[in-house]
Chains A and B, each alone.
Chain A
């Protein structure tokens, strides 16, 4: 194998040689530089592979013909090989990316570039502390030179600040070296450690200066103003090098030098890292400048890495995997994002809509962001999970909260940015110019993220429990995204059918899971059928739809909490992208993501707390939690963000209403059940019936009742049909929560009936209304009206839907109600029960409004020629109607096995419902869906005949039968009865519908942003202040330590 010394020789030699080439030879110089950057890649990677596979040992290279301490030695071990490989790959790709700029600057700039990469390599490999200093200075000079490349005022200013700040920091390093040598008698790091010099009195001061300077090089918050300015002002290609390259080298130096110091350094590092991760990400939330934002994120990630290193002893054997996954995500994603920023060339993140001009760039942008936030299946997901679990194992919950809070803030600004890219305004004149040399580097890094994800998965303890095949399928869908929508739709449906068929045998003995699996998969297939009506390619839809459904199904299949959380995050990510596809969805999807992220981290924290003191991660350990109060509450709130309990619901109406017509039923009828399933898992783990008197359940019962009332009330006053349905979903989920909180056999039976019903009728209604909206192009009900003639099938669907929703006999909604009131009476929660009952009557109001305003009354002129909804919308609707009919007539088919399961399980032994054929009876009464259906059917038929007989003499109104009274108003629709339909109720009850929750979250949001914006001002822009902060930082750390 080639000796690593050639890395230095080649790079340095070529740098000198370039100096000899004349300026005219930039082309040749470019080729020579690329070659000389490619060779080190080969050398370092081959070392990495050889050492990793055990074919070679780490080698030490001695210079000047003698051994240390008389000479400098370089080490190429596994870690060094890994980091130099990373740096050299970055160096090569970064050069390809920068080559156009560098060619303009001439040969000398290329030499500078070579020197930078060479310097970073030596910084990683050297074991001599003074040598380290020298090469760190060389790196500084090279970076300062490269910052100069951009040649504008800002970069000059930033470069100067950088130079002075890093200059001062390295002088402190030099002081440290002086004492290091004085007390240790050597410059060799290993020699110093071997002689155990750290115990020498006075050596601590040497170590202090050395380590604190390395920490400062890593830009700890708040002594990092200079770094932010550099990230902002430098060419993005150079910022990528600084963020991923020099930070990589510095973090490795820290890792290398830490053994010099005592244990206390680890604690200091943890604190410094935590402050940096939290502080930097917090300030990032009010930042709009692209590169500066990336700077904040960069610094935050390095803070997280410092924390990982600081927790090295606690993380034990998991350290390597955690460090690798967090590091590689940051390394690849940050460089990639800076590179993309250089392609987009937009200063503000609000202008990133232009990115839509290129699918590949948008795709890369997405995966870089997901990787940074730590969504599965990207490496940092595994890393963060493992880290949190290890910390939870030792009870370090405050640290977990810091990590999660920091991640939340980071997610906040990154998803806002993503929102602008997917939905932000974009002028048509501007075209995104993507030269190949600018897109190849981020592309390679994007692909590498998947490879890294694979390794993180295989290194992770629970990684092997994840089924990766669906993820591969999702990737495949990206690859075939150029195909027309109907082909991809068929493939997707086929895959879901295949999955369902294969899944069934494994869960068939657990009816509860079967029910939810049916909701997720059958519901998924039905809603996908509606997708056939979409023409064109429908880019980017299918992978995320599959991701959402796979996530949902994963919740059911999960055997341990890792799988559960993995699935939860996948579902969140998939649904977010589906929601944001709506025309006006940017803001709503962002809100959805915020609540989902917050909820997910609460769940994560709850899981972590449950795992404390338990050795396994089985789902059942929630019930064994040593801190049940905390675990249960956190998990419950987490799940409630998904089921949109009142107070946490503000994301839902917009997200569901503005989503595309066939996405609304997915996210409303189906996705919400993910949260319900979470609650079921939680409540079962709490112990079922035995936990019935738990105070948490009592409050959740109240919350459910209030949600039911509030949701329905808000639904009544909507003019937007889809919003009406969305608010109705809030209320329905309130019922489900309320019924689950009973924790009785019959309560759960009613909750499950509600879940099934809600799935059936809400999917049906959203599909039907979605079909109408597709035709009339408005959501406002008062603009519709009289559509019964044009859309009779949709009318029937809506009619069936609202009958089910309102719980009117004979349809299955009534079954839910019947069970429900039985449960309320058995449980004795009368007051809450009255609230829910009242809510039920309110539901009649909006049901009437929905069918009346849309389908009845006089048709509007402009809709006289609209067609019936697309057939692809009607097919799933009528399948759902068949489902409703079967469930209504024979509820025992589903409810009997569920009841049996509940009774047989140890959770709900006290059964109070008995079945006799199709008749269910409790000690309060009996009910038979089949008979009711017959009776009502006969009544309906009689009435219909009677009505037809009575109205035989009616005649159609002719055109001139109308008496004109006064002028025609400007917007005639608003004078219609169906506009502001329930204004009289509003006068009476409107105060209850005041947007209190919205106001609360808006104020919270506002205050948070103001604080972030205000604190950000500590970066005054004055280079001198930055220096003062650096010195103050040293003094403070010194005072903390001694």
Chain B
């Protein structure tokens, strides 16, 4: 609490800023690629959030090496679970993004436009 500019607060604020930025991008950008990129930004911001929630002050990465020995690892490392989650989430995020991009690609091939306003054949 002492210092707002400590690392955990900075990361949380950054992730929050990225989240808002990404969401804004999703609903304001008209270009489908930009929307997908905004989506990735939101994705990243959440990864950042998870990691920063796992952070415990004055501890190190949950990797057992010369700096951290097995015996007292529990007291020395930050919470490893969110890191594992983030790894999985990144993989999934990539999968989803890739699928979005391939959709965007085929849509572009057929309509020659990336403006989302042009894709309104289904409505009402």
- A residues contacting B by CB (< 8 A) are 130, 133-134, 137, 140-141, 144-145, 148, 153-154, 156-160, 163-164, 167-168, 171, 174-175, 177-179, 181-182, 187, 228-229, 232-233, 287, 1013, 1016-1017, 1019-1024, 1027-1028, 1031
Contact = CB atoms under 8 A, between A and B. Distances in A.
Nearest to B24: A1031
A144 B107 CA distance: 14
Interface in B70-123: 81-82, 85, 88-89, 92, 95-96, 99-100, 103-104, 106-107, 110-111, 116-117, 119-123
B53 A182 contact: yes
A387 B106 CA distance: 48
Contact of A141 (B30, B39, B95, B124): B95
B102 to A, nearest CB: 9
A1021 B85 CA distance: 35
B42 A1022 contact: no
19 contacts: A133-B89, A137-B95, A153-B121, A156-B103, A157-B121, A163-B96, A163-B103, A168-B42, A174-B46, A179-B53, A182-B53, A187-B81, A187-B85, A1017-B124, A1021-B121, A1021-B122, A1022-B116, A1022-B123, A1024-B30
A694 to B, nearest CB: 48
Contacts of B122: 154, 157-158, 228-229, 232-233, 1021
A370 B69 CA distance: 69
Nearest to A1016: B124
A160 B107 contact: yes
A216 to B, nearest CB: 14
B49 to A, nearest CB: 6
Interface of A is mostly: helix
Contacts of B82: 178, 181
| Residue from B36, B92, B117, B122 with most neighbouring chain A CB atoms (10 Å) | B122
A575 B5 CA distance: 76
Contacts of A174: 46, 50, 89
Contact of A153 (B49, B88, B96, B111): B111
Minimum-distance CB pairs A-B, first 8: A1021-B123, A1021-B120, A229-B122, A160-B103, A178-B50, A182-B53, A1028-B27, A137-B92
Nearest to A166: B96
A144 B32 CA distance: 17
A140 to B, nearest CB: 7
B115 to A, nearest CB: 10
A153 B85 contact: no
B116 A1020 contact: no
Contacts, number: 114
Among B53, B106, B121, find the residue whose CB has the most chain A CB atoms closer than 10 A. B121
Contacts of A233: 122
Contacts of B103: 144, 148, 156, 159-160, 163
B85 A167 contact: no
A153 B110 contact: yes
A1020 B26 CA distance: 17
Given A163-B99, A187-B85, 6 more contacts: A164-B100, A167-B96, A168-B26, A178-B53, A1021-B120, A1031-B23
B96 A137 contact: yes
Contacts of A160: 32, 100, 103-104, 107, 119
B43 interface: yes
A1019 B110 CA distance: 23
Nearest to A232: B122
A597 B27 CA distance: 43
B119 A140 contact: no
Nearest to A1025: B27
B117 A144 contact: no
Interface of B: 23, 26-27, 30, 32, 35-36, 39, 42-43, 46, 49-50, 53, 81-82, 85, 88-89, 92, 95-96, 99-100, 103-104, 106-107, 110-111, 116-117, 119-124
Contacts of B110: 153, 156
Given A141-B96, A181-B82, A1024 B43 contact: no
Contacts of B32: 160
Given A156-B110, A164-B35, A167-B100, A178 B46 contact: yes
Contacts of A153: 110-111, 121
A1020 B81 contact: no
Contacts of B30: 1024
Contacts of B88: 130, 134
Contact of B27 (A163, A187, A1020, A1027): A1027
A1019 B95 contact: no
Contacts of A140: 96
A282 to B, nearest CB: 14
A232 B53 CA distance: 42
A167 B100 CA distance: 10
B51 to A, nearest CB: 9
Contacts of A167: 39, 96, 100
B84 to A, nearest CB: 9
Contacts of A154: 121-122
B41 to A, nearest CB: 11
A381 B96 CA distance: 41
A181 B92 CA distance: 19
A112 B118 CA distance: 30
Contact of B116 (A171, A229, A287, A1024): A1024
Given A164-B39, A177-B85, A145 B119 contact: no
Contact of A1023 (B99, B111, B116): B116
B30 to A, nearest CB: 8
Nearest to A160: B103
A563 B122 CA distance: 45
Nearest to A136: B92
Contacts of B46: 171, 174-175, 178
Contacts of A287: 124
Nearest to B79: A181
A1016 B124 CA distance: 5
Given A167-B39, A181-B81, A1022 B96 contact: no
A159 B107 CA distance: 10
Contacts of B35: 164, 1024
A759 B117 CA distance: 64
Contacts of A164: 26, 35-36, 39, 100
B117 A1022 contact: yes
Most A CB within 10 A of own CB, among B82, B89, B100, B119:
B119
Given A175-B46, A181-B81, A163 B120 contact: no
A145 B27 contact: no
B33 to A, nearest CB: 12
Nearest to A144: B99
A179 B16 CA distance: 14
B96 A157 contact: no
